[in-house]
Amino acid sequence: MRSARVIAGAAAFGLVVTGCQGGGEDAGGEGAAAKRPSSPAAEVALPDDPKALADVLGRRIGASRSAKVSVSTETTTNQGKARTEISGVVAGTGTSRPSARITLVQTGGPDAGTSETIVLGDAVYVRQEGEEYEPGKRWLRITRADLQRSNLGPSRAAFEEAYKEAQAGIREATADKGLAALRHGTLKKPPYKERLGGEEVRRYDGTSATAKLAGQTGDAQFRTLADAGVANIPWSVWVDRQGLPRQLSMSLAAGPTVIVTTARYSDWGKPAAVTAPDPAQVATLNV
């Protein structure tokens, strides 16, 4: 179910970059910043219907241009527990090519360790704690063109997986993956007000049928979950008065495996920049 962890994380980050729908400025390149950052202070009327809510969130996220995100994912199987902590910043949420810098820390399980990923346009930079790709070079730059022209041999599959997972978490998620569960879901009960981090928010609790999501969105990753036996995706989202998400919780269950993901969002509209690592520390796939 490692793919399910990836999909859950992508959905959480995807909620931030969903505002990229419809194009906009190009935020790619070797350095990308949130242009014309704004702090959307105007309050909005929050609808009860989850589909209408998804539309409001998409508009407000796109207008904000940037955010900080932290995502916690706990996976429980009959072999024990593993926990993943993802934190980062997303810039260019109102553009066609958002960028992000993500740090991932996993404890427990076969993939334990710390890694860092930077997505800038078509380029993905990856760093694994304690590793060097070349002497003195802790970062590896991967682009689609590199994968197509390099003679990588047996290593190609590993590099392609790293590239695809990074792009899935940031760019493919702009295809509405983060909000699809809301848009095609149903509420368990009427939304209600509560306090989160000292702030008044409105909480929505619902569920989405995974096979229905796959059929209505045509998303291959939702189909992967459905085929793996994940029948439903329960979710909760906490929305502030400005129509911006402050927290999102999703859970996936299939057989003995349960995956719970909680994402927290902050600093909407504050200046943010994502830049490439020092070129002196970057190895490439060119051979």
Instruction: Report how far Cα 272 is from the mean position of its chain's Cα atoms.
Output: 17
Residue type, position 264, single letter: R
Q: What is the pLDDT of residues 128-140, one digit of tens each?
A: 888 998 999 999 9
CATH 2.50.20.20 fits 2-284, yes or no: yes
pLDDT for residue 206: 95
Residue 218: DSSP 8-state: -
Q: Predicted confidence band at 94 (pLDDT cuts at 50, 70, 90)?
A: low
Give dist(CA 55, CA 176) in Å, integer: 10
pLDDT for residue 24: 37
Q: What is the pLDDT of residues 225-250, one digit of tens each?
A: 888 888 898 999 999 999 999 999 98
pLDDT for residue 23: 36
On the question of pLDDT at 127 being above 50, the answer is yes
- Residue 273 contacts residue 93 (beta carbons within 8 Å): no
**pTM, rounded to two decimals:** 0.77
Q: Which residues pair with 83 in a beta bridge?
A: 74, 107
Closest among 68, 64, 120 to 94, alpha carbons compared: 64
pLDDT for residue 208: 92
Number of H helices, E strands in the chain: 7, 15
Give dist(CA 35, CA 273) in Å, integer: 9
pLDDT for residue 112: 77
pLDDT averaged over the chain?
A: 79
pLDDT for residue 144: 83
Task: Give the three-state DSSP class for 99.
Answer: strand
Q: Predicted confidence band at 11 (pLDDT cuts at 50, 70, 90)?
A: low
Q: Give me the percent of the chain exceeding a pLDDT of 90.
A: 25
Q: The tokens 């003995």 sit on which residue?
A: 256
Give dist(CA 80, CA 154) in Å, integer: 31
- Residue 235 contacts residue 191 (beta carbons within 8 Å): no
Mean pLDDT of 267-287: 86
On the question of pLDDT at 191 being above 90, the answer is yes
